[in-house]
Amino acid sequence: MELLINMVLLTLLAAITIGIIRVRNLFAVVVLAGAYSFLMASVMMVLDAVDVAMTEAAVGAGISTVLALGALHLTKTEEAAPRYSAILPLFVAVGTGAMLIYGTWGLPGFGLADTPMNTGVGLDYLNRNMAETGIPNVVTAVLASYRGFDTLGEVAVIFTAGIGVLLLLKRFQREG
């Protein structure tokens, strides 16, 4: 059942992506991107990433949709017709995809517990966490405690991006 829900949601995700590529009205594209984010949040839910799903639902479907609509309001909502043929980009994309798909035969299957990834540091965090931090949500413990430096860097990146947007868009009062 888990597998079936996972596969259906992923198929819908791929269908919406085709819509995002083909539709030329940018307003429709932004709304499709919102639907894409909600579907992505559902997929993350099925993949047991509840914290990530909550963030994606609030960020992807909420805030980034609003920001993209704001940018559309300040620019224009219709994409121009393409000037060049799409053959070369399509060739590049299909070639890259074919090579990557060839690579998937070397990867471990879906949902297995004994892969190198799932027996390594992640399992270590799960085993040590309760004794060392006493916080049941391992994601919070790893985020704020074990990988605190990492998170400090991410917060600094968010801060920097915010300052950049303010510098670009804020109307500063001219003095004199």
Looking at 31, 35, 38, 47, which residue binds other proteins (CB under 8 A)?
47
Looking at 5, 18, 28, 38, which residue binds other proteins (CB under 8 A)?
18
**Please, which of residues 116-175 interact with other proteins by CB under 8 A?**
117-118, 121-123, 125-126, 129-130, 132-145, 147-152, 154-159, 161-166, 168-171
Q: Which is nearer to other proteins, 75 or 176 (CB)?
A: 75
Minimum Å distance from CB 176 to other proteins? 22
Q: Give the C-alpha separation, 170 to 75, whole Å.
A: 16
Minimum Å distance from CB 110 to other proteins? 5
User: In terms of DSSP H, where are the helices of 47-86?
Assistant: 50-56, 64-74
Q: Give the C-alpha separation, 12 to 62, whole Å.
A: 20
Name every residue whose Cβ is closer than 8 Å to that of residue 147 and which is 6 or more positions away in sequence. none
Interaction of residue 31 with other proteins, rule CB under 8 A: no
